[in-house]
Structure formats: C-alpha cells, structure tokens
A and B are shown apart, each in its own frame.
Chain A
Amino acid sequence: MGTKVNLISGRTIVQGQNLDNKLSEAYFNEVATCELNGSDMEKLGVAADERVKVKTSFGEVVVKAKEKAGTPEGVIFIPMGPWANALVSGDTHGAGMPSFKGIDAEIEPTEEEVLHVKELMKTYMG
C-alpha cells in the first residue's frame, strides 16, 4: 500500500526542447520522472534518482524521483508525456477533456525498472 498523493502534470523546458525528439535519452531523463517535496521524499524513504512506482485506478508506471521545493506536500508532478498519461483515465465527464490533473494516486519506492518509451508503448499493443 503506497502513500496517497494528488498527481498533476505539466510542461518543463527540457520536455519542450525534446517535443520533436521523444525517442531520445534527453526526453526519457526529463519526462520519466516525478517531482516531490523534500519532506515527502523523506517520508517515502527515497533519494533523488531512486525509482518510485505511481499507481492510479487506470494504470501504474515506474519513474525516477526528483526533489522540488516548489511542489507542495502531498502533490506529485510528472512532466506531461507517456509516463504521466499511463496513469490518466480517458473519461472526460462529457466535456471532451480528460482529467490530466488532480488524480488520486499512490506512490511507493520500487526496485522495478523505468520503461523506455518504446517499451511503454508496447504495453498498449497486442
């Protein structure tokens, strides 16, 4: 049972620089991450670059933890992209827009590997 958090996503400069370069290491290193407040990292017992598993009712992904002081306690930020979206429901509540932010999630330390983008896409196929 992981720690309950509120998941949001959004843009970063490096994510933007690699918008047309999504199969690159630079994109992977920036986007397959999760920003947390320092005290939340302490509570979880994870250090920077250690892996965490984030789960929602719609999916789960492994990403690398990053400390970010500006992120409030209880909120985690995953840059917009395939890893964040693996956790998002397609339900738009009749508005056409899925809930990309404000998703109930659970987070826990893990030893599992972070999937590269090609491996992540394979999970949708077949």
Chain B
Amino acid sequence: MVEITDVVCSLCGCVCDDIVVEVEDNKVTKVKKGACAVGKSKLMGHGRIEEPAIRENGSLKACSYDDAIKKAAEILAASRRPLLYGWSSTVCEADKVGVELAEEIGAVIDNTASVCHGPSVLAIQDVGLPSCTLGEVKNRADLIIYWGANPAAAHANHMKRYSYISKGYWTEEGKKNKKLVVVDVRRTATAKMADVFLQIEQGKDYLVLSALRALLYGYEDVVPEEVGGIPKKDLLETVKMMKESKFGIIFFGMGVTHTRGRHNTIVNAIEVTRAAHTHTKFSIMPMRGHYNVAGINQVCTWETGFPFAVDLTRGYAWYNPGEVSATDLLIRRECDTALIIASDPGAHFPGESIRHLAKIPVIQIDPFPNPTTEFADVVIPAAISGVEAEGNVYRMDNIPIRLRKLVDTEYIADEEIMKRILEEVRAIREKEGE
C-alpha cells in the first residue's frame, strides 16, 4: 500500500489539491482525507467503457484503438460541418490538440461553458469582472454571498476550503467573524446555513440586483416594499452587511446563468459589485462546474481569440454564441458529425438538441459509459485525467493546477487519442490532395 498526498481532484471547479489517498495493487483503495463526497466518488471510480467500439447494424462492436481512431478520422475528414464539443473534463494539453484539429478540418469547436457559464463569459466580455483568487477569498473575505448557487450540493468543499467556513490569514476565526447571504428560489442546504436567506421568486434576479444597486448608491426611495418576493427590509439588511464588510464576494451559479435574462442578469450582478466598491472592497466570481471548463476557455482563447462557440470553417475564427454554439447548431440540424470528448450532451443538452445529435455520426471519447454512448457510433475509452493521467487544469478562479497521475493504465490519455486522430485526419487529407 502506498499513501499519496497532495492529490488533485478532477471533479468540480474547486480543484481541491490537498487530498490523501491510498493506492494498492494499482488501484485507489481509500480516500483518506480532503475530498468531498462527490470527489471521493470520482477518485474511487465507476464502471468503465471497457474497450474501443464501432457501431455496426445498431450495436457497438469491440475493436482495437487503431481501428476506432482510424474510423473516427475517416468520419471527421469526410464531414462538411463537424462539431467538436466538450473539453471540460480533460486537461489543457488535450484541449490544445482539439483546437488544432478544429482548425485542420474547419470545424466548430465549443465547450460545456455553452450550457453552463456561457452567459457569464458574455457578461464579462461586456463589462469586465472585478474578481480575485480563491486564496484572497479565504484570507480576506468576511461576507460571502452565494447567488443561484448551492455549493452544499454542487461544490461541496467550496465553503470549507475557500469561503464561509475556511480559516485564513485575516480570517483565522473562520465563520465566527463572517456573514453568509444566500439568494435562491429553494431553501437549499446552503440556504439553511445563511445569516440572511433571500428566497427570490424564480426569474426575478435582475429586479433584485437592480434594487440592491439602487440601495448601495443611496436611492432607498425608489425601491418598493417588496422586490422579486423579497421584503425591502431584508434587502436593506443585506446592503448594510455589504457596506460594513471589509471584503465581500458574490459567488454566482447556474441559478443565474440558466434563467431568463442570462448575461444581462450577470452584467447587473457585476454592476452590484461595482456599486459596493463605493463603500468597501468587493469581488465576484462564477462557480465554474467542471474541473477544467475554465481551462478550455483559456486554451480556446489563447489559440483562437475566443473562449467558446468558435467556428473555424472560414479559415479564421468566427465567434458567435447563439449562432455557432452547440445547441443552436443542433436545433438547426446544421452539423453533420460530432466529436464529443470529456462531456455528456446526451444527459445535459435539451432534448430538442439531442434529437439531431442522435441521428448524425458521433465519436465519443470518455472513460465512462453515459447517455451519449447510447447513440455514439465510435466509442474510444480514455484514461481518467487526475487518476490515470496527468496534465494542467484551471480552477474556477483561473489558477492553473497540475493534475497528478495516481495509477498506471492501459487506457490511452485524451491528449494521445486526439493527437492520433489528428495524425490520421492529416494523412487522409494529404492523400486526398494528391
């Protein structure tokens, strides 16, 4: 038995890096400390896609890696409007090859931000983001606001490591000297811990943010007695807490990005942060979901200039979420092939979009079988990044952290799979050009 310390979790955007595991017979046998229930489940592992496979007459038939990669390359090289989607549950090194492949074949490359924090990206491009690192939150923040986010379920270590419960340099007494405000439609487990819980009517985020802005700027007279289901007195109490804090932070989640108003609501949340700057230090940060969704946004930006929904069919990068984002391409039945890597649109896309995805040739690269596997035509099993393969990822505050390899495997890592597909595609294209 070997004990490995400083293990990095490859599940959510918290990217916890202080985990201790035990490895025996080339298998993680115990997660000793550091991981939350969700991260622990990831590290301990689940049933795998056992071997590469190609669909024949409706069912998947096992084949070699070589055959699956060759078939994938043939499909991609013959495609007129390919979509390369996912990239968030793998490492930046694989993402980089993905962008190279998109450029080679003239594809649309999109990532899971498009159904997660895409609107946050649009808002940030609109008005910027007064943000910070999670380290600063841990060491300085005395007021934490979770808005449309339920870390108790989605980022279970977030409060303990970085925010409300954590103890830092100037916050050594932990939650004793901190305040927690939660804004949510439901009284969630996170809401139950709050000093102030603002139970907002669904879809009324923009109104409540506008009221907070008015109050922060001193225009109490324009705010009615109730806004979006929240009594004015609770809004006044929140604003008082904001003004009195030394360092406040708003963490916002998919309760905001998935709701009416989308990026406009997030622009308003950023403006609330700015309004708070007239009184004290305040920051704002999106609660990124996948452990490397921030990373694919980084890679895609430094390679193409844009973070998601990038169309490379013209020979230059064309960025237009709403036009070339994955769900939009699919409901217009525009793409004729999809490569899905490190994500599961079969589970997480709207039914209306899956309908087209299920009809076109789909290449899936993933360690685990999932709803996408049900209609994938070429299935390529991958090593699990952070367990069987190493590489760089970006935490939700855009801090790069290197995932560690804990055990050996015969499965090939995403980066290698992508390089081999790219090599095959280039060989086919060269042959066609002869």
Question: Residues of A at under 8 Å CB distance from B?
Answer: 6, 8-13, 15-24, 58-59, 68-72, 75, 77, 80-82, 85-102, 117-118, 120-122, 124-125
Size of B's binding interface in residues, CB under 8 A: 66
Report whether B350 and A6 are in contact in the complex, using a CB–CB cutoff of 8 Å: no
Please tell me if B4 contacts chain A, counting CB pairs below 8 Å.
no
Q: Which residues of the other chain, B, contact A20 by a CB distance below 8 angstroms?
A: 41-42, 46, 367-368, 370
Please tell me if B353 contacts chain A, counting CB pairs below 8 Å.
yes
Report whether B328 and A92 are in contact in the complex, using a CB–CB cutoff of 8 Å: yes
Please tell me if B254 contacts chain A, counting CB pairs below 8 Å.
yes
Q: Give, as a whole number of angstroms, the nearest-CB distance from A43 to chain B.
A: 19
Report whether A96 and B254 are in contact in the complex, using a CB–CB cutoff of 8 Å: no
Report whether B42 and A95 are in contact in the complex, using a CB–CB cutoff of 8 Å: no
Q: Give 12 A-B contacts (CB < 8 Å), ordered by A residue.
A: A9-B258, A17-B37, A22-B368, A23-B370, A96-B114, A96-B322, A99-B259, A100-B115, A101-B259, A118-B374, A124-B358, A125-B374
Beyond A97-B258, A124-B358, 4 extra complex contacts between A and B, CB < 8 Å:
A9-B258, A85-B351, A92-B322, A117-B347
A6-B202, A11-B150, A20-B42 known; A70 vs B352 contact (CB < 8 Å): no
Q: Which of B167-175, B186-194, B238-246 contacts A (4 or more CB under 8 A)?
A: B186-194
The docked-state distance in angstroms from the alpha carbon of A24 to that of B261 is 35
Q: Give, as a whole number of angstroms, the nearest-CB distance from A8 to chain B.
A: 6
Name the prevailing secondary structure of the A interface residues: loop
Q: Give, as a whole number of angstroms, the nearest-CB distance from B292 to chain A.
A: 14
Q: Which residues of the other chain, B, contact A9 by a CB distance below 8 angstroms?
A: 258
Which among B38, B259, B350, B371 has the greatest number of chain A C-beta atoms within 10 A?
B350
Q: Give, as a whole number of angstroms, the nearest-CB distance from A99 to chain B.
A: 7
Q: Which residues of the other chain, B, contact A71 by a CB distance below 8 angstroms?
A: 186-187
The docked-state distance in angstroms from the alpha carbon of A93 to that of B358 is 23
Within 8 A of A (CB), among B248-281: 254-255, 257-260, 262-263
Report whether A98 and B115 are in contact in the complex, using a CB–CB cutoff of 8 Å: yes
Please tell me if B283 contacts chain A, counting CB pairs below 8 Å.
no
Report whether B350 and A90 are in contact in the complex, using a CB–CB cutoff of 8 Å: yes
Which among B119, B192, B374 has the greatest number of chain A C-beta atoms within 10 A?
B374
Number of A-B pairs whose CB atoms are under 8 Å?
191
Report whether B328 and A117 are in contact in the complex, using a CB–CB cutoff of 8 Å: no
Please tell me if B153 contacts chain A, counting CB pairs below 8 Å.
yes
Report whether B186 and A58 are in contact in the complex, using a CB–CB cutoff of 8 Å: no
Q: Give, as a whole number of angstroms, the nearest-CB distance from B146 to chain A.
A: 13
Q: Which residue of B lies closest to A123 (CB)?
A: B351
Report whether B348 and A81 are in contact in the complex, using a CB–CB cutoff of 8 Å: yes
A89-B352, A98-B350 known; A72 vs B185 contact (CB < 8 Å): yes
Report whether A102 and B346 are in contact in the complex, using a CB–CB cutoff of 8 Å: no
Report whether A75 and B186 are in contact in the complex, using a CB–CB cutoff of 8 Å: yes
Please tell me if B211 contacts chain A, counting CB pairs below 8 Å.
no
Q: Give, as a whole number of angstroms, the nearest-CB distance from B359 to chain A.
A: 8
Q: Give, as a whole number of angstroms, the nearest-CB distance from A56 to chain B.
A: 10
Please tell me if B418 contacts chain A, counting CB pairs below 8 Å.
no
Within 8 A of A (CB), among B366-405: 367-371, 374-375
